[in-house]
Copies of this chain bind each other. A is one copy, B any other.
């Protein structure tokens, strides 16, 4: 196996202009970043860095009184996002705010390197005693990610130094030695963070600790059992019954079903894939591939959401994908994007980019309002009108997760490999890259995702031989390619067109991806979607909102032969392309008073208008529906 086929270019070298992402990323780095910092301030998460025990600011009962246990991670995710913004849009005022938060964190660090403001303030004697339920290593992971991002953005070692001292402590506490805990986190996160730290510092001990956490996981006798006994608890009384909840039921190399808490699962698999790439480990990669196949063939919403159940915030059974009660946590889709990125970069297979793109454009983007300051935690695919974004949440993991993901979007667009440059995502903008020792500027002009035409132009210092790989998304059934104005033939392999040649400055490539409106059907085993279709165009899944319709959404039936057309609406929802056509709806007027009757209800034509799923709940509250009842033809 290859070590890792692609690496992303430095974040600072990729820029977005106008267009779809340009607008959204601007909201993200302005309103989003500022608003979330204000929320962390408001709820007391920043103040808590001083580690003085104090009553919760969030009223008790709103989230069981344990909110602050995760606060370090929320602060860290904000720092990470802010660092990405500093990398792409230097801003001294923001940098000063970042420095201030880092200073508080540095002050909070204990003599021995320990850094968890919740435990130091509230339970100093309970450090490292309950990895199963608490979130020490999870918080540590986010601090590490923040430190790496900050270091790479600013070159300042301030947070990196703090974090490396903390990791040194963790490496003393956890490991295979006789006096070490043979443990691992209940909520995975630190593994993927340590791998980032390893790449940032080139210190192999970080890779080794990550590797230890990954491979120790799920071994018997279970660490979580012995840890519970040490606390005087009976491990058999564990709330979630077994360790599938945290993917610790089996050694990870033996796993083949995506189970348990969805965010935990995604973070673990992401680390597994990354580690497999870093260590040339085909066995570990094979486990990832099995898990991936399980997810995408049986347990993934059409929107890229995952983990249908609120009970375990995670997976249930195959094909169990209820729409109205979908949990589909925003963080889980962010996690899927992380995992898909690793799988893509390690293997170069385009189908990973397909799922990355799907999760990103649909479930992830739905997680934040167009205004940038209201958020979904759970992303239902159907609502009766009572599901809305809130301004904050007692467990505010999702908002800063989307914040940091969007702020780092530049690292998702391109992949640099051995003599090759892959374009994974299409977005109006520019990248200034280094390839084969040469500087290269690649410019994308496109209305994507509203339109499938992408114009690429290259600027090179001197003619250079390399392979340009252009992704042809899995949803695209017909593509055209032109090189310097001349149409050329091509084949798609592994989801990419490969153009291997001597490139010259001024070369232009035009890719045209057909983007018809599709009606998607779900596997017949998916109970919730049977007899219904979802509309997709390009990477965007669409939905109906009641504000656009004269009938309750469950009464709307879309005939298979109804003509649908895409139409750009520049004034709607910040400018979206809607899908419109004529559907049928059961007629209430002609039904009468009876609750049941033999005669079928009459149906009347009704105008249908679908909007991108990611933009729902940005207008007046009402019903929403992704899966639309379908019939074979318009005669009902």
* Among A134-142, A495-503, A589-597, the stretch in contact with B: A589-597
Interface: A179 (CB within 8 A): no
Shortest distance between the CB of A594 and any CB in chain B (Å): 7
A629–B588 contact, CB under 8 A? Answer: no
Asked if A521 meets B599 with Cβ closer than 8 Å, knowing A297-B594, A527-B554, A593-B297, the reply is yes
Residue of B nearest to A600 (CB): B521
B296–A595 contact, CB under 8 A? Answer: yes
Within the assembled complex, what's the spacing in Å between the Cα atoms of A206 and B593? Answer: 39
Which of chain B's residues have a CB closer than 8 A to the CB of A636? Answer: 632
Interface: A486 (CB within 8 A): no
Within the assembled complex, what's the spacing in Å between the Cα atoms of A379 and B426? Answer: 53
Interface: A519 (CB within 8 A): yes
Interface: A534 (CB within 8 A): yes
Residue of B nearest to A598 (CB): B518
Asked if A534 meets B596 with Cβ closer than 8 Å, knowing A524-B586, A632-B631, the reply is yes
Contact count band on A:
35 or more
A524–B632 contact, CB under 8 A? Answer: no
A598–B631 contact, CB under 8 A? Answer: no
Asked if A595 meets B300 with Cβ closer than 8 Å, knowing A554-B527, A555-B530, A631-B631, the reply is yes
A524–B631 contact, CB under 8 A? Answer: no
Which of A562-606 touch B at CB < 8 Å? 586-588, 591, 593-601
Which of B302, B531, B598, B599 makes the CB contact (< 8 A) with A629? B531
B520–A596 contact, CB under 8 A? Answer: yes
Within the assembled complex, what's the spacing in Å between the Cα atoms of A593 and B319? Answer: 12
Within the assembled complex, what's the spacing in Å between the Cα atoms of A520 and B601? Answer: 10
Which of chain B's residues have a CB closer than 8 A to the CB of A596? Answer: 302, 520-523, 534
Interface: A557 (CB within 8 A): yes
Which of chain B's residues have a CB closer than 8 A to the CB of A599? Answer: 521
Which of chain B's residues have a CB closer than 8 A to the CB of A101? Answer: none
Interface: A526 (CB within 8 A): yes
A597–B521 contact, CB under 8 A? Answer: yes
Within the assembled complex, what's the spacing in Å between the Cα atoms of A181 and B527? Answer: 54
Within the assembled complex, what's the spacing in Å between the Cα atoms of A415 and B598? Answer: 30
Interface: A34 (CB within 8 A): no
B588–A525 contact, CB under 8 A? Answer: yes
**Contact indicator per residue, chain A 482-499, by CB within 8 Å of chain B (1) or not (0):** 000000000000000000
Interface: A95 (CB within 8 A): no
Which of chain B's residues have a CB closer than 8 A to the CB of A300? Answer: 595
Within the assembled complex, what's the spacing in Å between the Cα atoms of A554 and B298? Answer: 17
Shortest distance between the CB of A605 and any CB in chain B (Å): 15
Interface: A50 (CB within 8 A): no
B521–A595 contact, CB under 8 A? Answer: no
Within the assembled complex, what's the spacing in Å between the Cα atoms of A600 and B298? Answer: 18
Interface: A281 (CB within 8 A): no
Residue of B nearest to A382 (CB): B527
Interface: A552 (CB within 8 A): yes
Interface: A560 (CB within 8 A): yes
Which of A362-404 touch B at CB < 8 Å? 384
Interface: A635 (CB within 8 A): yes
Which of chain B's residues have a CB closer than 8 A to the CB of A520? Answer: 596-598
Which of A173-197 touch B at CB < 8 Å? none
A524–B587 contact, CB under 8 A? Answer: yes
Which of chain B's residues have a CB closer than 8 A to the CB of A522? Answer: 595-596
A521–B601 contact, CB under 8 A? Answer: yes
Which of chain B's residues have a CB closer than 8 A to the CB of A597? Answer: 520-521
Residue of B nearest to A300 (CB): B595
Residue of B nearest to A557 (CB): B531
Within the assembled complex, what's the spacing in Å between the Cα atoms of A296 and B595? Answer: 7
Residue of B nearest to A532 (CB): B531
**Contact indicator per residue, chain A 509-548, by CB within 8 Å of chain B (1) or not (0):** 0000000001111111111001100100000000000000
Residue of B nearest to A477 (CB): B598
Which of chain B's residues have a CB closer than 8 A to the CB of A519? Answer: 598
**Contact indicator per residue, chain A 241-285, by CB within 8 Å of chain B (1) or not (0):** 000000000000000000000000000000000000000000000
Within the assembled complex, what's the spacing in Å between the Cα atoms of A110 and B159? Answer: 77
Which of A595-631 touch B at CB < 8 Å? 595-601, 629-631
Within the assembled complex, what's the spacing in Å between the Cα atoms of A560 and B600? Answer: 10
11 CB contacts below 8 A, A to B, read: A297-B593, A297-B594, A302-B596, A519-B598, A520-B598, A521-B598, A523-B591, A523-B594, A524-B588, A527-B552, A534-B596
> Using a CB–CB distance below 8 Å, which chain A residues touch chain B?
296-298, 300, 302, 384, 518-527, 530-531, 534, 552, 554-555, 557, 560, 586-588, 591, 593-601, 629-632, 635-636
9 new A-B contacts, CB < 8 A, other than A524-B555, A525-B555, A632-B632, are A521-B596, A521-B599, A521-B600, A521-B601, A523-B594, A530-B586, A530-B629, A600-B630, A632-B635
